[in-house]
Amino acid sequence: LQKCDLHRLEEGPSTTAVMTREEGLHYYKTMQTIRRMELKSDQLYKQKIIRGFCHLYDGQEACCVGLEVAIKPTDHVITAYRAHGFTYARGVPVREILAELTGRKGGCVKGKGGSMHMYTKNFYGGNGIVGAQVPLGAGIALACKYFGKNEVCLTLYGDGAANQGQIFETYNMAALWKLPCVFICENNRYGMGTSVERAAASTDYYKRGDFIPGLRVDGMDVLCVREATKFATEHCRAGKGPIVMELQTYRYHGHSMSDPGISYRTREEIQEVRSKSDPITLLKDRMINNNLASIEELKEIDVAVRKEIEEAAQFATTDPEPPLEELGNHIYYNEPPFEVRGPNQWIKYKSVS
């Protein structure tokens, strides 16, 4: 594996990794599912079936899959609004994700969250405000420490959010209190339409914690991400406090669906990344070259994935929208029903948790 760049660390993650055939097939299927799901989301958006904001994750699949397979289901994850991949990796079925995108009752947040606000057990969502999830992640890590559960929180943000003041305030508190928090900067080279070189005086995001150790990882290689995450979470579980991890990755789509993605970068640049360092192709080649799978087997997975995505899209376009009465529901958790004034002040809704 490619060696990680280190900051305030004497040794880093292993440069060799063991991957079984079963693991490889699982990683391949998961990444391929996320890729196809995002391409289907693109299509549904263009058909005006998905509305509002929609930030796609294709190109970055090795990040969420590598992170997820290195942690325990009881560990915690919080990220920004490019959240579909993490939602799937954390165990939410494709049909519930696509139904959430189309605002339907069968969505993972019952059609009320949309693209940027998806949640499941130990996954605290997509968060819409740039960088605001980082202090929340430190709060989750504080809870992990307080309850003595030996759990960690992966707190993700992008290179665009990396210059936010609240992130540095959070680093400070996390270091003071030795919180079990892995701060992860998914550096996809562009914050909205601005390249990292134009936005940051220092693009060494893994050194930004200053007094917090850090490592820079090849975010296009699922095994690199897996090994680095194992290293980082062991650091936290050992009571050494937080660590910063920069994943060098790339997004194929624009910042969101309203951004064509080619006004600030060339088609050739995108094509070069696709041809040289696509995370799915890298894993596929590695598996075939090491006799872990045949081309035919992987093609069978591709066919099964396409079928699953089509069925999920069918559900997401036919499932009913939530009724207006549900507008006031789920305001509080575990509360007895109470009255909520809806958009019409003469109509009262009973809110249930």
- Residue 328 has a pLDDT of 81
The share of the chain scoring above pLDDT 70, in percent, equals: 100
- For residues 342 and 348, is the Cβ–Cβ distance under 8 A? yes
- Residue 348 has a pLDDT of 76
Asked if residue 331 has pLDDT above 90, the reply is no
Six token digits for residue 262: 């080619």
Confidence of residue 340 (pLDDT cuts 50, 70, 90): confident
Average pLDDT on 198-221 reads: 98
d(CA 107, CA 151): 28
- Residue 206 has a pLDDT of 98
Six token digits for residue 276: 């040289």
Element (DSSP H or E) covering residue 85? helix 84-89
Asked if residue 337 has pLDDT above 90, the reply is no
- For residues 233 and 70, is the Cβ–Cβ distance under 8 A? yes
Between the alpha carbon of residue 213 and those of residues 8, 176, 251, 268, the distances in Å are: 5, 14, 27, 36
Asked if residue 27 has pLDDT above 90, the reply is yes
Six token digits for residue 41: 């989301």
Residue length of the chain: 353
- For residues 6 and 279, is the Cβ–Cβ distance under 8 A? no
Element (DSSP H or E) covering residue 228? helix 222-237
- For residues 225 and 219, is the Cβ–Cβ distance under 8 A? yes
Residue, of 106 and 350, whose pLDDT is higher? 106
Backbone phi, then psi, for 265, in 5-degree steps?
-150, 160
Asked if residue 335 has pLDDT above 80, the reply is yes
Q: Domain ranges for the chain, please list them.
A: 5-322, 324-352
Average pLDDT on 101-120 reads: 96
Asked if residue 204 has pLDDT above 80, the reply is yes
Six token digits for residue 182: 């892995």
Amino acid at 340: V
Pseudo-torsion of CA 232, 284, 259, 267, nearest 10°?
A: 120
- Nearest one of 220, 230, 332 to 278, comparing CA atoms: 220
Bridge-based pairing of strands 190-191 and 243-248 is unpaired
- For residues 134 and 140, is the Cβ–Cβ distance under 8 A? no
Task: Tell me the pLDDT tens digit for each residue of 218-227.
Answer: 999 999 999 9
Task: Tell me the pLDDT tens digit for each residue of 267-282.
Answer: 999 999 999 999 999 9
Backbone phi, then psi, for 42, in 5-degree steps?
-60, -45
How does DSSP classify residue 321? Answer: P
Task: Tell me the pLDDT tens digit for each residue of 31-50.
Answer: 999 999 999 999 999 999 99
Task: Tell me the pLDDT tens digit for each residue of 170-187.
Answer: 999 999 999 999 999 999
Residue, of 329 and 59, whose pLDDT is higher? 59
Helix, strand, or coil (residue 18): coil
Residues paired with 44 in a beta bridge: none
Asked if residue 338 has pLDDT above 90, the reply is no
- For residues 69 and 25, is the Cβ–Cβ distance under 8 A? no
Helix, strand, or coil (residue 243): strand
Asked if residue 345 has pLDDT above 90, the reply is no
d(CA 341, CA 282): 54
- Residue 351 has a pLDDT of 85
d(CA 297, CA 154): 33
Q: Which CATH superfamily is domain 5-322 in?
A: Thiamin diphosphate (ThDP)-binding fold, Pyr/PP domains (3.40.50.970)
Asked if residue 349 has pLDDT above 90, the reply is no
Average pLDDT on 212-236 reads: 98
| Averaged pLDDT of the chain | 96
Average pLDDT on 157-161 reads: 98
- Residue 250 has a pLDDT of 98
Confidence of residue 339 (pLDDT cuts 50, 70, 90): confident
- Residue 151 has a pLDDT of 98
- Residue 26 has a pLDDT of 98
Element (DSSP H or E) covering residue 218? strand 214-218
